[in-house]
Structure 1
Amino acid sequence: MSHTAHIPSHRKPRRSGSKMAFRAGVAGGVFSTLAVAGAAAPANAETVTETTLEMPTLGSLDADLASAVSASAEATQQEALDQSLAAQEDAALKKAAAQAKKAKAEADRKAEAEKAEKARAEAQERASRSESRTQLSAKSSSGSSDAVSGRSSGETTQVATGSAAAIVAFARAQIGDAYVMGGTGPNSWDCSGLVQAAYRQAGIDLPRISGDQSSRGTSVSLSNLQPGDILYWGSRSGSYHVAIYVGGGKYVGAQNPSTGVVERSLDWDTPSGAVRIL
């Protein structure tokens, strides 16, 4: 027998079921996983611990990359949307400005057209009135040789003859015109301006002021008036108002701003006196 037959061996028993496994995975040269595991051994065998080293997988990187791409795409889309909205707003503003400009131009055009139409209407009215005055004057002059009775406002009245006919016709043609202090026509008068213009139709020049007008000619009583006589209010040399007697107990005068040129009865505002120029 060998001298070592009874000496126990100090070497560990051989593993009858040990197993070592190596797992290696390479994905794109970036990821690898190595696992070493020990299989189960007999009761008296040592236990081999399994160790696993984990690294990021390809799937997680793909997800992060996809998320970044998606975010970039959303940002680009949002920027494009903002630019589109800004362009639409700018276009809307330009369109509104153009429409406003067009509307203003149209309003200005209409205003100018209305103004021109009004001016034409006024010109036609003045021409019509001038024609009427001319016809009245001619008619009065043609009948100046007649000394007959006529009717005025339904009453029998004296009819002006000669120069008086022209004076009366002109005065009556201004009825309805406005009263304006200092007015001498053709569409607005004051009292002495109307009297002066009426007498000019008969070729007679009178002073401009009422006091001077009533100082001319000869005094006549209110009961002996003739068409064409000048009526005055106040004293003869200091009258403050004048008018023209047109016959039938009536006169025509530029009274005041509220009435304008009117024909009134002597009873409506009895004058202080009268003078005869003709």
Structure 2
Amino acid sequence: MSHTAHIPSHRKPRRSASKTAIRSGVAGGVLSTMALAGAAAPANAEPVTETIEMPTLTSGLADSTARSAEVTQRIAADLDLRVRQDSAAAHAAKLAKKAKAEAERKAEAKEKAAAADRARAASERASRSEERTTLSASGSAAPASYSTTQASGSAAAVLAFARAQVGDAYVLGSTGPNSWDCSGLVQAAYRQAGVELPRTSGPQSTAGTQVSLDNLQPGDILYWGGAGGAYHVAIYSGGGNFIGAQNSGTGVVEKSLDWDPPTGAVRLL
């Protein structure tokens, strides 16, 4: 036995001929490509060191989202402004309509008051003329005749005012100028003659001297119900008629006594 019989060999295993050939071919191809590239490049060419950054999709999406949010906010702001403008315009129109209605109401009330003043002035002129005629005929003052003339003049003023309200609405508790209840109209009419009446029907039905329905004079207060407890009042206008704020269905009307016969009457003028 030799001295090297148990010593393992340090030689690498021999590669197969096929693997060696393949590796030789690959290496040769690479060296050939490098040789061609070197020959084609200029002699003084510098090695390429610049890197190109490609745009990222994330950046584009962020910009698009920001622009979309800005547009949305602008549209919302425009819509909010338009709503505010429309609301302000509607409010202004409502105020204008209300102001117009109030101005018309005041103008109508002023016209009615002027008509009542004209009627009162005409009545006073007629009263003075009749008084002068009476004095001229008798040659002296006639107290009884003067008293009757004054009552007729005051009654004319009362009736002129009441008749000017015909067609107005009936509203319970209202005292004018465009709507009335029965006692409110009577009170306002008598105020034209300088007579201040109680506000409600009951006291008005006992405010003067009780008179028979067969002996009525223009300006007498008619009442429905018991004296002192009347539930409705109106004004006798002569010729078998009366003027009164009857109810919400008719408003202020001038009607025949037969339409709604009263219970009694009182005289103040």
Alignment match of 1:270 (pick from 258, 261, 264): 261
Could you say which residue in structure 2 is the equivalent of 1:113? Answer: 96
* Higher relative contact order (Cα pairs below 8 Å, separated by 6+ residues): 2
Alignment match of 1:82 (pick from 65, 90, 97): 65
2: distance between equivalents of 1:227 and 1:88?
80
Mapping for residues 3-82 of structure 1, pairs under 5 Å:
23=28, 25=30, 69=54, 72-82=55-65
Could you say which residue in structure 2 is the equivalent of 1:139? Answer: 122
Give 3-state SS (helix, strand or coil) of 2:231's partner: strand
CA contact (8 A) 1:232 1:239 kept: yes
Question: Residues 90-146 of structure 1, C-alpha deviation per residue, up to 9 Å, x if partnerless?
Answer: 222222222222222222232233232232222222222222222222223333356
CA contact (8 A) 1:220 1:274 kept: yes
Unaligned runs of 5+ in 1: 1-18, 30-64, 148-159
Q: Computing the radius of gyration over CA atoms, which structure comes out larger, 1 or 2?
A: 1
Q: TM-score, normalised by structure 1?
A: 0.64
2: distance between equivalents of 1:238 and 1:26?
134
Question: Residues 28-82 of structure 1, C-alpha deviation per residue, up to 9 Å, x if partnerless?
Answer: 99xxxxxxxxxxxxxxxxxxxxxxxxxxxxxxxxxxx99x93xx43333233222
Question: Residues 134-173 of structure 1, C-alpha deviation per residue, up to 9 Å, x if partnerless?
Answer: 22222233333569xxxxxxxxxxxx93211111112112
How many positions carry a matched residue from both structures?
210
2:193 is equivalent to residue 202 of structure 1? yes
For the aligned residue pairs, the C-alpha RMSD in angstroms reads 3.2
| Percent identical residues | 49
AA partner of residue 230 (structure 1)? I
2:156 is equivalent to residue 165 of structure 1? yes
After TM superposition, the runs of 4+ consecutive aligned structure 1 residues lying more than 4 A away are 19-22, 26-29
Give 3-state SS (helix, strand or coil) of 1:89's partner: helix
2: distance between equivalents of 1:28 and 1:105?
83
CA contact (8 A) 1:143 1:161 kept: no
2:256 is equivalent to residue 251 of structure 1? no
2:204 is equivalent to residue 234 of structure 1? no
AA partner of residue 126 (structure 1)? A
CA contact (8 A) 2:208 2:268 kept: yes
Q: CA deviation at 1:244?
A: 0.7
Unaligned runs of 5+ in 2: 1-20, 35-50, 132-150
